[in-house]
């Protein structure tokens, strides 16, 4: 592993044909979207994450959980893609195969213009039925009144369409992410602590299949040991620099 080697990282990326970018909360930090734990500040600092991000927590107090997510949804929709998100859009055309696998629920990659984005943990803008009757509402402007609103089909609560603690990821999305990881020749891992599985397992899949793994993160992560190159910088600074013409 070598650190801060932007030139080496550029060369690895220039040689690659199939690239996967795995992103986490740090990707959106410079857009002003707090990471999960940072979001638990102020009014919310007294709450346990599992109380706000689990089925049990929602069942116990749907109003509280809805309010927390409504606040985060507002924050995500006010945020704008940063220079890192935009650099990734410009990158697509350089590879035969290119995909972004994100743990973020803020939708900023898609809003920046990236075309192939796999959202492993859902999307905070969408809402679905808590009782799983099949209703999904994509646009918050279509939500019925109420906090939380009632499902228009079965009358149960509606809940945010994100993955909560203890829930399974969408099997199709995860399977595709794993296939992409196992068949890429470069994986760029941006702004994730590498603590939460199965997302955190994707870099080792890529590595085992022979891909180069490049980490962009201003702080040490659990994944540093398996990286070929670590760039110790923020997403909005490092990504434009990584893809600037050499
Ligand atoms: P974390 O909050 O665990 O980690 C954020 C990472 O971003 C840390 O490694 C920071 O060093 C890094 N970071 C901070 N600012 C940065 C910047 N400007 N540029 C680049 N990196 C920066 O976030 P995730 O790893 O995404 O899951 O967390 C994974 C999952 O844990 C989340 O998706 C969420 C949470 O529980 C669910 O809700 C299912």
Residue whose CB lies within 8 A of the most ligand 1 atoms, among 32, 196, 199, 214, for a mutation test: 196
Instruction: Round the average pLDDT of the chain to a whole number and report it.
Output: 93
Q: Do residues 55 and 70 share a domain?
A: yes
What's the pLDDT at 35?
A: 78
For residue 25, the CA-to-ligand 1 centroid distance in Å is 4
Percent of the chain with pLDDT over 90: 84
- The domain that holds 73 is classified in CATH as 3.30.1600.10
Q: For residues 105-123, give the mean pLDDT.
A: 97
Of 63, 85, 121, 156, the active-site residue reads 121
| Count of the separate structural domains present in the chain | 2
Look at residue 51 in the predicted model and tell me its pLDDT.
85
Q: Are residue 134 and residue 235 in the same domain, yes or no?
A: no
Answer yes or no: do 232 and 139 share one domain. Answer: no
**Ligand 1 pocket: which residues have CB below 6 Å?**
24-26, 29-30, 35-37, 53, 103, 121, 163, 191-193, 195-196, 217-219, 221, 234-235
Q: What angle do CA 226, 229, 233 make, to 5 degrees?
A: 115
Q: Are residues 178 and 222 in the same domain?
A: yes
Domain edge (last residue) among 141, 162, 183: 162
Task: Give the range among 40-49, 77-86, 143-152 with minimum mean pLDDT.
Answer: 40-49
- Predicted pLDDT of residue 37: 65
Average pLDDT for residues 23-33, to the nearest whole number?
A: 95
8 A C-beta contact, residue 187 and residue 202: yes
Which residues pair with residue 231 across a beta bridge?
216
191, 224, 202, 184: CA torsion to nearest 10: 90
The average pLDDT across 158-165 equals 96
The last residue of a domain, from among 143, 162, 181: 162
Q: What pLDDT, on the 0 to 100 scale, is given for residue 41?
A: 66
CB neighbours of residue 116 within 10 Å: 15
Residue 43's pLDDT is: 54
Show the domain range for 2: 1-32+81-121+169-246
Cβ(62)–Cβ(148) below 8 Å: yes
Q: Are residues 235 and 134 in the same domain?
A: no
The answer to whether residue 246 scores a pLDDT higher than 60 is: no
For residues 48 and 117, membership in a common domain is answered with: no
What pLDDT was estimated at residue 48? Answer: 82
Known catalytic residue at 121: yes
| Distance between CA atoms of residues 166 and 236, nearest Å | 32
| Same domain, yes or no: 133 and 67 | yes
| pLDDT of the residue at 17 | 97
Together in a domain, 39 and 92:
no
Dist CA 207 CA 104 (whole Å): 23
Q: Are residues 246 and 222 in the same domain?
A: yes
pTM more than 0.85? yes
* Structural domain ending residue among the three candidates 162, 178, 212: 162
- Same-domain pairing of 156 and 229: no
Would the pLDDT of 19 be above 70? yes
Same domain, 129 and 221: no
User: For residue range 37-69, what is the model confidence (pLDDT) as tens digits?
Assistant: 666 666 567 778 788 899 999 999 999 999 999
pLDDT tens digit string along 187-230?
A: 999 999 999 999 999 999 999 999 999 999 999 999 999 999 99
Cα–Cα distances (Å) from 33 to 87, 104, 141, 209, in that order, read: 18, 10, 21, 33
2-6, 11-15, 27-31, 188-192: least confident range: 2-6
- Strand intervals (E) in the chain: 2-3, 18-23, 97-102, 117-119, 122-129, 136-137, 158-162, 186-190, 212-216, 229-231
Residue 8 belongs to domain with CATH number: 3.40.50.1220
| Minimum CA distance residue for ligand 1 atom 14 | 26
Is the CB of residue 221 less than 8 Å from the CB of residue 68? no
- Mark whether 10 and 91 lie in a shared domain: yes
- The 10s digit of each residue's pLDDT in 120-135 is 999 999 999 999 999 9
């Amino acid at each position: 592993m070598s650190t801060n080697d932007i030139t080496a990282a550029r060369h690895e990326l220039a040689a690659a044909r199939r690239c996967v970018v795995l992103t986490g909360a740090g990707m959106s930090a410079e857009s002003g979207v707090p990471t999960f734990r940072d979001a638990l500040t102020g009014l919310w600092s007294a709450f346990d994450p599992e109380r706000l991000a689990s089925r049990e927590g929602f069942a116990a107090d749907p109003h509280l959980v809805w309010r927390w997510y409504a606040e985060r949804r507002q924050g995500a929709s006010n945020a704008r893609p940063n220079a890192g998100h935009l650099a990734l859009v410009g990158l697509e055309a350089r590879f035969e195969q290119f995909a972004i696998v994100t743990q973020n629920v803020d939708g900023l990659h898609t809003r920046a213009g990236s075309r192939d984005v796999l959202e492993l943990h859902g999307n905070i803008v969408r809402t679905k039925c808590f009782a799983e009757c099949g209703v999904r509402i994509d646009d918050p402007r279509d939500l019925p009144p109420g906090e939380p609103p009632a499902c228009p089909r079965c009358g149960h609560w509606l809940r945010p369409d994100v993955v909560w603690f203890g829930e399974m990821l969408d099997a199709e999305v995860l399977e595709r992410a794993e296939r992409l990881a196992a068949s890429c020749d470069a994986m760029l891992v941006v702004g994730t602590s590498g603590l939460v599985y199965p997302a955190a397992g994707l870099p080792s899949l890529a590595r085992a299949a022979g891909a180069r793994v490049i980490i962009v993160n201003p702080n040490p992560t659990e994944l540093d040991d398996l990286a070929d190159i670590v760039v110790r910088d923020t997403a909005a600074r490092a990504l434009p620099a990584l893809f600037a013409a050499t």
